[in-house]
Chain A
Amino acid sequence: MRRRTSGAGGLGPVDRDEQRGDDGHLFADLRRLEQRLEAILINVAEAITVVDRSGQTIFANQAAAELLGAASPGELISAEPGTIMRRFLVLDEQGHELDLEDMPGRRLFRGEDAEPLLVRNIVRATNEERWIIARSSPVADPDTGEMLYAVNVFENVTAIKRAQLAESLLAEERAQIAHTLQRALLPESLPEIDGVEIETLYAAAGELNEVGGDFYDVFDYDDARTMLVIGDVCGKGPRAAGVTALARHTLRAAAIGGQSPASMLATLHQALLRQPQGADMCTVCLIMLAREQDGARLTIALAGHPPPLLIRRDGAVEQIGRSGTVLGVIDPVSIEESEIALASEETLLLYTDGVIEAGRPSDLLGEHGLLELCAAAPGLPLAGFLEHIEHAALARAGGPLRDDIALLALRIGPPKDG
């Protein structure tokens, strides 16, 4: 009686003991086994080849013939080693040409590791490009352990790879557009004011391909006065970007008309209400700065925006301004101006809510956290002070920011002698 070692498909190796038995039967057995194996492999959708140490293909299925541009599996088997592959340029993912000896099957024969390899395969005759994952496993002689064959499985992943490439190109393009748009929404340069230092900082939230609604602006109101603006348009993306542009330009136009800060905000509110799609909500902090001897007088108007902070020379921090109605949704709005003096070497900070909303809801940086950070302002250069706040917000967030952060700080230099 003959025995087979494994049952189910009848494909298990023939018991070694039998080789010493009836050779005629054994040969017939092996032949049948081979035929069944071939019948299965020949129709597998993935390209399969079996190659010996010399590089000679001893088996190939129909898919392999198609992938390698052969008329039939027989053409691959009768070809001289290497001749078929000369029809192709084989590159790695980075585009460097690969030697045939780098393919997993050849590496196995050298006793090396053979991780699946993604290759870009270009048909020299037609320039057709395919992406292929090559996987190989060894078949060893059961007696000697010597590797006899490499079984190569080639998976054509061209469609998947193309989709991935298209996706990443699209994402790159979107990020580029968002970046360009974002830059266009912020002033290219800030006006120079004698004896006044101004610094700004903008940190975008996690998703790079979305334009945020935070904006800031600094512009001359007249010869003696400067406007400081920071605001936040609700929402993200192209629509928010459009509203952001509207907000900036409406405020600049209102300033040309000589309106007071509260009246400028009321004008922006009307402009938002007249937007065809309606319900564009926007918060703004507006400060008119008038230079005075050794300092400045600030006129503050707030519309739904967090109050700016005034940091004294000893590090004491005050919220300034009176809360006013958010713009664009509730009509009429109620906005009141307030005035305060800013002395030399004191620091003024305007910010958007992304700063105080950094962190988990149970552990937000919050207004208190920001006030504490501000105590460090007098000892820091202005740009360093803004970075100090940004770092604290990022640390609190512990990952991507929930919302964009915009910061605008101003400091009047020490009084000039004489």
Chain B
Amino acid sequence: MAVESNLLIDVSREGERAVLRLDGELDLAGVPLLEDAAEQAALDDPTTLVLDLRGLEFIDSTGLRAILSLEERCAERGQTFALVRGSEQVQRLMRMTRVDEHLKIIASPEEILL
């Protein structure tokens, strides 16, 4: 059964960098929206995909898995993937699962990636 999603995604392009700004909640209902937006952003062939989580209030394990899948797809395409850190709830889940050690986490979407 379809559940209403409380996720808003804003896609923008800054030079070689595609930025997806997530606002609201990333859970089972929001995952398809994220996947669609990421596919759309990838069409432009950016060198880097940044997920800006500063406006993300809530994430659950389904949302976390979606982010990890996204990172995997970027790696396959030779794109760099980075996250701008989110709310305490988001960061708590990243630490608890130790996903924070695996992903590139930056302070702002403009931060230079090495």
Contact = CB atoms under 8 A, between A and B. Distances in A.
B65 A281 contact: yes
Contacts of A235: 28, 62, 65
A402 B28 CA distance: 10
Interface of A: 207, 232, 234-236, 279, 281, 283, 304-307, 323-326, 329-330, 334, 353, 357, 361-362, 364, 366-367, 402-403
7 contacts: A234-B65, A305-B96, A324-B98, A330-B99, A330-B102, A334-B98, A361-B6
A283 B97 contact: yes
A325 B61 contact: no
Contact of B96 (A304, A334, A403): A304
Given A207-B1, A364-B58, A304 B98 contact: yes
Contacts of A232: 61
Task: Describe A's contact surface by its main secondary structure.
Answer: loop
Contacts of B28: 235-236
B60 interface: yes
B12 interface: no
B108 interface: no
B89 A402 contact: no
A304 B60 contact: no
A92 B58 CA distance: 49
A36 to B, nearest CB: 49
A305 B1 CA distance: 27
Contact of A330 (B1, B62, B68, B96): B68
Interface residues of B, number: 25
Interface in B35-64: 57-58, 60-62, 64
A362 B57 contact: yes
Contacts of B61: 232, 234, 281, 283, 326, 353
Nearest to B92: A367
Interface in B76-114: 89, 92, 95-99, 101-102
Contact of A326 (B1, B69, B72, B99): B99
Nearest to B29: A402
Contacts of A304: 96-99
Contact of A323 (B25, B64, B68, B98): B98
Interface string B7-51: 000000000000000001101100000000000000000000000
B69 to A, nearest CB: 6
A329 B68 contact: yes
A207 to B, nearest CB: 6
A334 B25 CA distance: 28
A323 B95 contact: yes
A353 B27 CA distance: 13
Contact of B62 (A234, A361, A362): A234
B60 A357 contact: yes
Contacts of A307: 96
A119 to B, nearest CB: 31
Contacts of A403: 60
Contacts of B95: 323
Contacts of B57: 361-362
A323 B93 CA distance: 10
B69 A279 contact: yes
A291 to B, nearest CB: 29
- 8 shortest A-B CB distances, which residue pairs? A361-B58, A304-B97, A326-B97, A361-B57, A325-B98, A281-B65, A234-B61, A330-B102
A283 B1 CA distance: 25
Nearest to B27: A402
Given A330-B68, A402-B60, A361 B89 contact: yes
Contacts of A326: 61, 64, 97-99
